[in-house]
Structure 1
Amino acid sequence: MRILHTSDWHLGQHFIGKTRQFEHQAFMAWLIDQIAAQQIDAVIIAGDIFDTGSPPSYARELYNGFVVALRDSGAELVILGGNHDSVATLGESKTLLAHLNTRVIPGVCENAADQVLVLHKRDGSAGAVLCGIPFIRARDVMQSQAGQSAEDKQRTLQSAIAAHYQTIYALAEAKRDELGDKRGGALPIIATGHLTTVGASASESVREIYVGALEAFPTNAFPPAAYIALGHIHKPQKVGGLEHLRYCGSPIPLSFDEARQTKEVLLVDLDHTGLRSVTPLPIPRFQPMISVRGTLAELQVVIADAAQSGCAELPVWLEVVVSADDYLSDLATRIQAICEGLPVEVLRIKRERGNAQPGLQRMASETLAELSPDDVFAQRLASEDLADELKPQLAQRYRQIVSSLQEADA
């Protein structure tokens, strides 16, 4: 059986005043062609199909259009909810989409058996058993206890998530055994997840999803599935060097620090012996975007080089980080003069200041909308002249307060 693993589409993302609609449309058209060419049996989207819980109408149209186009390709589709997705938004259409060969698991199900799915080959025969595990919210698997420290909550949540995986995996084993008796062979079991694991490398567009409660899920807490399709981290990577434990990454760069990454989807081949191979399939870059850095003199050359990736119809999106000349008051005007006549569009200018400058001033070019509350707190803490042992204590206290507030809102 051949599965295509993708995640973190973030349909509807608003990126520094720019829509990603064109990029997502181009990606989906490319993906449909690849599904046919590679003879994919099933597609798994491991969370964050949307960028927000209330996606714009064009993002919903893209989503629905992809489901219809994929149905015509003959491949199955499984969509798992992520931390950016609304359980209600994804769930509202899952009954309808089931008639289009698409199954949606927006959140942890009340009946655990509903998270165990049989994936089929193009000929209709069973090819694998899936442990469909979406983003797990703390309230889905545990109850808050008064007096727990942040460390206690972290351990409790980690244990609860691990127990959920084991419960779903046991049900999948039972389903595999049931189907194996009928077909004379054991089906491979695969699993999904939308979380941060120990050792995963993130990017600036990835925000912590278990503030004060779970920093990273240990790899040894996953069940012994033949393949585990993960989402949430936007950089494609093996976890801990393990072939079967993978983040496929996002299909388009969602921040400037992802601009140099090779984006990909993963082709996963399995049979009754388990995992046979994992093959990365590089995704074309549909919108050139580059982060450049240097003094004004250096940027004359660097920006001219970057402009070679663009054209009048599709200019390069630029983030310009200026060093050494940060004292200039007319910096934006000078950058625009450098870019005059070139197929580039400057989306953000940042000043790189010396280490002696306070952290909040060092990021002065950022708008508040670009920062999470964690970012603001971290920068504010870094600007204070405090004893070394006091900063970790304040950070821990901050995480405890945020965790308590999140539980109160849940």
Structure 2
Amino acid sequence: MKILHTSDWHLGQSFFTKSRKHEHAAFLQWLLEQVDTYEVDAVIVAGDVFDTGTPPSYARELYHGFIGALQGKQCTLVVLGGNHDSVSVLNESKELLKYLNSHVIPSTYGNIDEQVITLNKRNGDVGAVLCAVPFIRPRDVMVSEAGQSATDKRQLLGDAIKQHYALLYESAVAKRNALLAQKTTNQTNLPIIATGHLTALGVSQSESVRDIYIGTLEGFDAGGFPPADYIALGHIHRPQKVAKTEHIRYSGSPIPLSFDELNTQKQVMLVEFEEDSLQPNLQYQPILTPLEVPRFQAMAVIRGDLQHIENTLNIHEDIANATPDAPVWLCIEVETQDYLTDLQQRIQALLDDKPAEILQLKRVRKQASKALSQQRNVQLSELSVEDVFEARLALEEIVESDEQAETAGRVERIKGLFKEAVFSIQSNVEDLQELETTKSIAESAKEQH
């Protein structure tokens, strides 16, 4: 049984006003080639197929075009909803895609049996059982009550997610045993695979990853995952293991979704289960092979003072090989002690008709302080919500108490309340986006009739 594990496509992303359409089209074509080359039995997309709840039409065309191109390859597709995905958008073609050997699981809401899927090999034999877990929205697995603290909510959500995994795994074991009893496969056992779209504790994130479960769950303990033979995760854009465990993996995003991801080699995971890899405890030891995804758009980060930046631009290999039709996208970080009002013009002049475009320009001051009072002339767009809050909090004088721990506890409570407020606002925004998407779909259907 061979599976390709990928995630976080973010189709439709606008990257500093630039479309990623050609990159995503090139990646999907490359992915189809890997399906043929390695004779893959199933492709698992572990969440965030789209970048927003209302993806542009070309993003939907890429998505459905990929599914169409996958037909005839005897390869099953499993699509899991992520925190960026709209449940309504994924639901609108879900029933149709069932007839195209594709399973779409937008959310955990609904029939639990639909989230336990039998995966077949190319020859039609049963090859694995999948616990298809998408992004778990708190409202789908728990009910908040008045008076609950942030700690209570964190504990309840963590327990609810763990319980959901345990329930699905129990159902998957029952299905596996039934399939083996029915002699639907020549194997003596079947691997069980699980998915997820969340933040596991201890992972390395990037700037493009938006925190989920803000104010309630900062990270899910890997000990809460079921004893599946492989766990395919999404949401974190850097490929990595979880808790130093080989079989729990983030595949990462296939293209860089922020400039700080350029130092990470993008990949998809090829996961192979062979009968002779079955261990004495009836667990499989999958063969894991990272398949490196080519870079489809030249991008670079250049740091230093003005002189160093000028020298680098003149000798940069990507810029030398680029063309005006396919320029290099640049992030320029200028180290300067003084505020230069004409910095944009100076940097632009250094390009001197070179095939490159500046998408992001940052000022990096030496001996910079986190305090807002010392962050003069910093653009608000360069700061995150958390940066602003931390800098503002640093200006406050927290009254010292007799017990240092009490003072520290007061600061943590303030931070906790802030996180809860951000979480509440983001949840309301997501609910409104979901409602607008549902209304848009309903109006389109009404017009067609």
TM norm structure 1: 0.94
Classify 1:265/1:382 alpha carbon distance in 2 versus 1 (closer, same or farther; 3 Å).
farther
Structure 1 residue 201, shift from structure 2 partner: 0.5
- Find the partner of 1:329 among 309, 322, 341: 341
- Counterpart for residue 393 of structure 1: 413
- Counterpart for residue 288 of structure 1: 298
Give distance in 1, aligned partners of 2:305 and 2:41: 51
- Counterpart for residue 244 of structure 1: 247
CA deviations 1:33-66 (Å, max 9, x no partner) are 1110111000000000000001000100000100
Give distance in 2, aligned partners of 1:151 and 1:108: 24
Q: Contact 1:309 / 1:316 at 8 angstroms: preserved in 2?
A: no
What is the percent sequence identity of the aligned residues? 51
- Counterpart for residue 106 of structure 1: 106
Q: Contact 1:187 / 1:271 at 8 angstroms: preserved in 2?
A: no
CA deviations 1:114-134 (Å, max 9, x no partner) are 100000100011000000000
RMSD of aligned Cα (Å): 2.1
Q: Contact 1:296 / 1:325 at 8 angstroms: preserved in 2?
A: no
- Counterpart for residue 120 of structure 1: 120
Structure 1 position 216 matched with structure 2 position 224: no
Give distance in 2, aligned partners of 1:336 and 1:407: 40
Please give the secondary structure, in 2, of the residue aligned with 1:61. Answer: helix
Q: Which amino acid aligns with 1:315?
A: P
Structure 1 residue 342, shift from structure 2 partner: 1.8
Q: How does 1:192-271 map to 2 (within 5 A)?
A: 192-271=195-274
- Counterpart for residue 43 of structure 1: 43
Structure 1 position 344 matched with structure 2 position 356: yes
Q: Contact 1:314 / 1:343 at 8 angstroms: preserved in 2?
A: yes
Give distance in 2, aligned partners of 1:156 and 1:105: 24
Q: Contact 2:328 / 2:356 at 8 angstroms: preserved in 1?
A: yes
- Counterpart for residue 64 of structure 1: 64
Give distance in 1, aligned partners of 2:424 and 2:258: 30
Structure 1 residue 362, shift from structure 2 partner: 4.2
Give distance in 2, aligned partners of 1:337 and 1:405: 42
Give distance in 1, aligned partners of 2:233 and 2:127: 20
Q: Which amino acid aligns with 1:91?
A: N
Structure 1 residue 182, shift from structure 2 partner: 2.1
Q: Contact 2:229 / 2:286 at 8 angstroms: preserved in 1?
A: no
Q: Which amino acid aligns with 2:87?
A: V
Give distance in 1, aligned partners of 2:54 and 2:370: 39
- Counterpart for residue 311 of structure 1: 323
Classify 1:383/1:236 alpha carbon distance in 2 versus 1 (closer, same or farther; 3 Å).
farther
Give distance in 2, aligned partners of 1:339 and 1:264: 32
Give distance in 1, aligned partners of 2:250 and 2:424: 30
- Counterpart for residue 302 of structure 1: 312
Give distance in 2, aligned partners of 1:86 and 1:363: 39
Q: Which amino acid aligns with 1:324?
A: T
Structure 1 position 189 matched with structure 2 position 192: yes
Structure 1 residue 186, shift from structure 2 partner: 1.6
CA deviations 1:359-388 (Å, max 9, x no partner) are 4874956554x7654454344334556578
Give the aligned length: 409
Structure 1 position 160 matched with structure 2 position 163: no
Give distance in 2, aligned partners of 1:265 and 1:300: 36
Please give the secondary structure, in 1, of the residue aligned with 2:309. Answer: helix
Please give the secondary structure, in 2, of the residue aligned with 1:312. Answer: coil
TM norm structure 2: 0.86
Classify 1:147/1:311 alpha carbon distance in 2 versus 1 (closer, same or farther; 3 Å).
same
Structure 1 residue 344, shift from structure 2 partner: 1.2
Q: Contact 2:230 / 2:286 at 8 angstroms: preserved in 1?
A: no
- Counterpart for residue 54 of structure 1: 54
Classify 1:382/1:250 alpha carbon distance in 2 versus 1 (closer, same or farther; 3 Å).
farther
Q: Contact 1:236 / 1:263 at 8 angstroms: preserved in 2?
A: yes
Q: How does 1:8-23 map to 2 (within 5 A)?
A: 8-23=8-23
Classify 1:248/1:357 alpha carbon distance in 2 versus 1 (closer, same or farther; 3 Å).
closer
Q: Contact 1:351 / 1:362 at 8 angstroms: preserved in 2?
A: no
Give distance in 2, aligned partners of 1:161 and 1:236: 23
CA deviations 1:305-332 (Å, max 9, x no partner) are 4323533332110010100254221111
Give distance in 2, aligned partners of 1:240 and 1:309: 41
Give distance in 2, aligned partners of 1:249 and 1:65: 22
Q: Which amino acid aligns with 1:287?
A: Q
